[in-house]
């Protein structure tokens, strides 16, 4: 797995690079947003670790421009306790975030969670294509359409919808989604799942007027058809 690490803290980037390489990942470093975006657009990377505070282009602008053409998984490196950065990053299409300073093992766990998710989806056989209430998911091409119109979903959004499509009409808890999609237990006040589902809803609503993902407050989400 080839990781692109974009962080202007050269010392931290070097330490992270050496640590991830010791865990059998290939790592390329960029130290400003412009270079990071250029590498992300032209290189063959599996994951982007993206700091928010960057020279040239900040992390949000890098993510915004990247999402216009790529669904590469992105983990944002945010300031500790800065909820705005986390929520805004998720709204722009980040797959996950981790606040600085962080434990290297926690970062590794987040990276491996995305790795497992990619491997699981890639290993899913084409015959497991899913359809429900105007939503069609093709596992062979990893594509999704709503009323035959293609949806550009991030890897996390795809995984959440895949989980819901496997059990339409069944309530899926936030805890289940966090553990099966993000690969970690849901922390108190963590709004990651809410933001991913909100983004997914907006994309579906562009082509299907009726609500497809219903929230059961305090419980979770359920995929529903027309009444």
C-alpha 89 chain-centroid distance: 10
* Confidence band for 53, pLDDT divided at 50, 70 and 90: very high
Give pTM, 2 decimals.
0.84
Across residues 48-72, what is the average pLDDT? 95
| pLDDT over threshold 80, residue 165 | yes
Closest CA to 28 of 59, 50, 57, 6: 6
pLDDT of amino acid 80? 67
- Which candidate, 33, 32, 2, 27, places its Cα nearest to that of 14? 27
Place of tokens 């305090």: 218
Give the DSSP letter of residue 186: P
Average pLDDT, rounded, for the chain:
91
Q: How far apart are the first and last CA of the chain?
A: 44
Task: Please report, rounded to a whole number, the percentage of residues in the chain having pLDDT higher than 70.
Answer: 95
With CA atoms as reference, report the closest residue to 194 among 211, 217, 212, 171. Answer: 217
- Contact predicate 91/195, CB 8 Å: yes
Query: What are residue 111's phi and psi, to 5 degrees?
Result: -65, -45
Q: Which helix (H) or strand (E) holds 84?
A: helix 83-91
Q: Rounded to an integer, what distance in angstroms lies between the CA atom of residue 10 and that of residue 14? A: 6
Mean pLDDT of 138-150: 91
**How many angstroms separate the CA atoms of 60 and 127, rounded?**
38
């Amino acid at each position: 797995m080839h990781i692109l690490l974009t962080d202007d803290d050269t010392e931290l980037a070097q330490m992270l690079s050496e640590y991830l390489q010791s865990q059998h990942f290939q790592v390329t470093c960029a130290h400003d947003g412009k270079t990071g975006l250029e590498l992300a657009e032209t290189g063959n990377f599996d994951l982007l670790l993206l700091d928010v505070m960057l020279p040239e282009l900040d992390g949000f602008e890098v993510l915004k421009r990247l999402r216009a053409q790529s669904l590469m998984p992105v983990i944002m490196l945010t300031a500790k306790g800065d909820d705005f950065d986390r929520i805004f990053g998720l709204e722009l299409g980040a797959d996950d975030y981790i606040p600085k300073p962080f434990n290297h093992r926690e970062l590794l766990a987040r990276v491996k969670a995305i790795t497992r998710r990619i491997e699981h989806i890639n290993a899913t056989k084409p015959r497991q294509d899913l359809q429900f209430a105007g939503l069609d998911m093709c596992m062979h091409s990893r594509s999704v359409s709503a009323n035959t119109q293609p949806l550009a979903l991030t890897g996390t959004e795809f995984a959440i919808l895949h989980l819901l499509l496997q059990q339409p009409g069944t309530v899926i808890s936030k805890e289940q989604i966090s553990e099966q999609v993000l690969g970690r237990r849901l922390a108190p006040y963590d709004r990651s799942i809410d933001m991913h589902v909100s983004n997914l809803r907006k994309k579906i609503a562009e082509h299907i007027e009726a609500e497809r993902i219903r929230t059961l407050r305090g419980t979770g989400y359920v995929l529903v058809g027309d009444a």
